[in-house]
Structure 1
Amino acid sequence: MSEAPSMPISEFLVPEHVLVDLAAPSKQSVLEALATKAAAWSGVGAQPIFTALSNREQLGSTGVGQGIAIPHATVAGLAAPLGLLARLARPVDFDAIDEGKVDIVFVLLIPATDRAAALKLLSTAARILRSEETRALIRAAPDAGALYEAISEAYDTQFPG
């Protein structure tokens, strides 16, 4: 039996944080676009978020294979964990471990004061996105609402309340 995560998905990912067909030609432009979106929702500047994500990528790619990347970082000044889920308009090279291009990006930003949440959320995201069925639903979703519903159902199935 899976250990339940410490928070409901709605505490770190809400429908407004789901983007469909994000147009970005490179890994850097994906991170920049998502940092800008995160800044608008978090009250933290885009540059510190982008820098935190970029610094994490320099340690090793967060491209985990199967077309998935899970960029994550702790961010000073962030009040609560924040997730952003993006389906890219076109796959980009993300230096993934399987050398494939990435078309699904799940960004996890964690308050610098709550590093323990980072591992739980990262593990949760990886477990959900490991499912071929969930990846197929994400890729086929006609809009952000359907994509959010697919990820929420996968979360609720893996971690029933």
Structure 2
Amino acid sequence: MNFMKLLTPGAVRVISTASSKKRLMHDLADLADSAYRIPAPQAVEALMERESLGPTGVGHGVALPHARIGEIEEVLGAFILLEKPIDFEAVDRQPVDIVFALFAPEEAGVEHLKALALVSRTLRDANFCAKLRANPDPATLYTILTESQSVQAA
């Protein structure tokens, strides 16, 4: 499992206007729709349903919302860098500005967990997150994210 498999360049955005967690979920759903043709209403409903079980803000300005979608066949990712952090009810109560969402098929047990572990492990690195925050360009962010494994493997 790697970011190249999870993410396409069209699934990376920088957003300046997200004003709330709910608005951000809609932005993620719109991104999933445009990048992967996951219907936005279905995506936002699945994200909100998962979020109702407990917030996915993992701390240090990072959130990892995820949802299961019946019509997709592989785990897919969407990345948003927020220009202005928002409250996300994170475990450390800090606002969030780095958001990596995962959309998994209903029956994707191990693959979903592998993807979640990869994203979580990568975004726990404070230096890596600082690099993301310092490069508010979608193409650059995509490159940073997809090159992270080759750097870690070296």
3-state DSSP class of the match of 1:121? helix
Equivalent AA in structure 2 for residue 47 of structure 1: P
Q: Distance in 2 between matches of 1:128 and 1:55?
A: 25
Q: Distance in 2 between matches of 1:73 and 1:121?
A: 12
Equivalent residue number for residue 54 of structure 2? 60
Q: Which structure 2 residue ranges, 5 or more long, are not aligned?
A: none
Quickly say closer, same or farther: Cα 1:11–1:22, change in 2 above 3 A.
Answer: farther
Quickly say closer, same or farther: Cα 1:28–1:119, change in 2 above 3 A.
Answer: same
Equivalent residue number for residue 43 of structure 2? 49
Equivalent residue number for residue 154 of structure 1? 148
**Residue pairs, 1:48-127, within 5 angstroms:** 48-127=42-121
| 14-23 vs 82-91, which moves further | 14-23
Q: Distance in 2 between matches of 1:139 and 1:79?
A: 31
Q: Distance in 1 between matches of 2:126 and 2:80?
A: 17
3-state DSSP class of the match of 2:116? helix
Matched, 1:21 2:15: yes
Q: Is the 8 A contact 1:20 1:144 kept in 2?
A: yes
Q: Which structure 1 residue ranges, 5 or more long, are not aligned?
A: 1-6
3-state DSSP class of the match of 2:90? coil
Equivalent residue number for residue 137 of structure 2? 143
Superposition misfits of 4+ residues, deviation over 3 angstroms: none
Q: Is the 8 A contact 1:53 1:71 kept in 2?
A: yes
Q: Distance in 1 between matches of 2:117 and 2:16?
A: 24
Equivalent AA in structure 1 for residue 83 of structure 2: A
Q: Is the 8 A contact 1:65 1:97 kept in 2?
A: yes
TM-score, length of structure 1 as denominator length: 0.89
TM-score, length of structure 2 as denominator length: 0.93
Q: Distance in 2 between matches of 1:142 and 1:44?
A: 25
| 39-48 vs 75-84, which moves further | 39-48
